[in-house]
Amino acid sequence: MYRQDEVKEASFFDTGEGLVFSYGPQHPGTGHFRLIVRVIGDTVLSAEPDPGFVHRGEEKLCEYKTWITNIPHLERPAILDAAGMLYPYCLAVEKLMGVEPPLRARYIRPIVAELNRIGSHFYYFALYGVFLGLTTPFMWAFGDREFVVDLVQFIGGQRITHSYFVPGGVRNDVPKRVPSGLVKQFRAWYRDATGRSPSSDELTDDFQKYVLRVMEFLDARLDHYWDLMLNNALFMDRTVNVGKLTAEEAAKLGVVGVTLRATGIKRDVRIDEPYDAYGEFKFDVPVRTEGDSYARAVVAFEEMRQSIRIITQAVEGLPDGPVKNKQHPVNIRVPAGEAIARAEAAHGESVYYVRSDGTDRPYRVRMLTASFRNLIVIPYLSRGAKLAEIPAIYWSQNVWPVEWDR
């Protein structure tokens, strides 16, 4: 698809003496993958992605495991966003079974999904800094991410790979109380970030109150991130006008997530095709029009604020009732048929195609993960860029190599 006339200014420098080298596969910041980069001087002539180092054969594995035992391995491609990986699978299987989860589960699932989104975006900022040689955000983001993964642990039992979603609801109810020792510690953190002390009534070991205070705490913390990273001249020097993508190019390449919304296209599955209780929440879809690496970071930053809004509304309006349909815990039967479902994962729109032949295991599960759809952008934007711009171009897409491989 890369016609010669699209090769920006790179072809001008191409005298056939380019130097080819391997960028990776030893972990250029995250999971294993490599770019085969050809440069002349400091200008990139081509950058061909070579994923597959962490290929696990998830889709093949799905055909050997039952509908329920598929859940723990399906979340492995993006462990920091396990909810985003499981959500479309559960929605597709529910479509095939013709069931709807109970109302309470339809509120709990967005809470966990948004917690995972915040956690994943903290990860994004942590490594975005590391990629550009700014290591302080790594320490900050991993420190603040602890509060999020702690909450996921209280809800789902595990910090990251919680396997919490099942077709027809969630595995268990949210707890009523959180450990009081943690609340005691958190009080000091809350005071540091927001500048005020919560009264003994505002912050107790009650789950709902604790979550709401954590959300206020994170909201206050995000102001510091703005000053540290996004309003930082050094960060802007490395990202503004780097890897610019227009809206037409974005539509042509079919990109998703922050890469798409940074070009001005306002698309978010939570708004376009609301699933579970997302239709009930008030939130915005952040959009920028610049389309460069900086705009992508800003979109991700704004998304965290919106996730905080969603969690606050969901926790306040959490209805009572069961959290799971009555069904066999491990051996469900799914009627024959095929279904397609999608959800907005932290990395972008995630689409699953699921086909059943009426037995206890899937006939085919196709995972069209968000990162895989953004893979095409990296060689596209790297052409004609400077070698030192590759880290910003690569990581600003908010991609995850294991999601490419699956």
Partner 1 sequence: MSESKIGYIVNELKQALGESIKEVKIDKKMTKITVEKDALVRAASVLKGLGFDHVKGVTGIDLIALKPPEDSFEVMYHAGSYSVQELANIIVTIATRIPRNNPEVPSLTSIWPSCEYHERETYEMFGIIFSGHPNLKRLLLPEWWSDAPPLRKDYRPPGR
- Least CB distance to partner 1 at residue 89 (A): 14
Q: Backbone phi, then psi, for 47, in 5-degree steps?
A: -140, 105
Q: Could you give the string, one character per residue 14-43, with x where binding to partner 1 holds by CB under 8 A and - elsewhere?
A: ------------------------------
Q: CA torsion 192→311→154→199, rounded to 10°?
A: 40
- Least CB distance to partner 1 at residue 53 (A): 9
**Does 368 sit near partner 1 (CB under 8 A)?**
yes
Instruction: Find, among 338, 358, 336, 340, the residue nearest to 349 by Cα.
Output: 340
Tokens of 383: 């052409």
Q: How far apart are CA 37 and CA 29, in angstroms?
A: 17
Instruction: Looking at residues 317 to 356 of the shown chain, list those that interact with partner 1 (rule: CB under 8 A).
Output: 337-340, 342, 349, 351, 353, 355
Contacts of 57 (CB under 8 A, 6+ apart): 406
Q: How far apart are CA 343 and CA 34, in angstroms?
A: 28
Stretch that binds partner 1, among 56-64, 70-78, 201-209, 288-296 (CB under 8 A): 56-64
Comparing CB distances to partner 1, the nearer of 217 and 380 is: 380
- Least CB distance to partner 1 at residue 344 (A): 12
Q: Residue ranges of the alpha helices (H) in 172-231?
A: 180-194, 207-225
What is the identity of the amino acid at 52?
A: G
Strand extents, DSSP E, 127-239: 165-166, 169-170
Taking CB under 8 A as the criterion, the residue among 260, 299, 314, 334 binding partner 1 is: 260
Q: How far apart are CA 194 and CA 216, in angstroms?
A: 8
Rg over alpha carbons for the chain, rounded to the nearest Å, is 22
Taking CB under 8 A as the criterion, the residue among 52, 143, 157, 321 binding partner 1 is: 52
- Spell 30-39 as b/e; 16+ CB within 10 A means b: bbbbbbebbb
Total site size for partner 1, rule CB under 8 A: 42
Comparing CB distances to partner 1, the nearer of 290 and 338 is: 338
Tokens of 94: 């529910």
Q: How far apart are CA 300 and CA 258, in angstroms?
A: 6
**Does 364 sit near partner 1 (CB under 8 A)?**
yes
Q: Backbone phi, then psi, for 170, in 5-degree steps?
A: -125, 165
Q: Could you give the string, one character per residue 182-201, with x where binding to partner 1 holds by CB under 8 A and - elsewhere?
A: --------------------
Tokens of 71: 């859940």
Comparing CB distances to partner 1, the nearer of 14 and 338 is: 338
Dmax (CA) for the chain in angstroms is 72
Comparing CB distances to partner 1, the nearer of 144 and 403 is: 403
**Does 279 sit near partner 1 (CB under 8 A)?**
no
Taking CB under 8 A as the criterion, the residue among 39, 44, 90, 96 binding partner 1 is: 96
Q: Could you give the string, one character per residue 208-247, with x where binding to partner 1 holds by CB under 8 A and - elsewhere?
A: ---------------------------------------x
Taking CB under 8 A as the criterion, the residue among 373, 383, 391, 399 binding partner 1 is: 373
Stretch that binds partner 1, among 53-61, 179-187, 285-293, 314-322 (CB under 8 A): 53-61
Residues that bind partner 1 (CB under 8 A): 1-2, 51-52, 55, 57, 59-60, 64, 95-96, 247, 250-254, 260, 265, 267, 272-273, 337-340, 342, 349, 351, 353, 355, 357, 363-364, 366, 368, 372-373, 375-376, 404-405
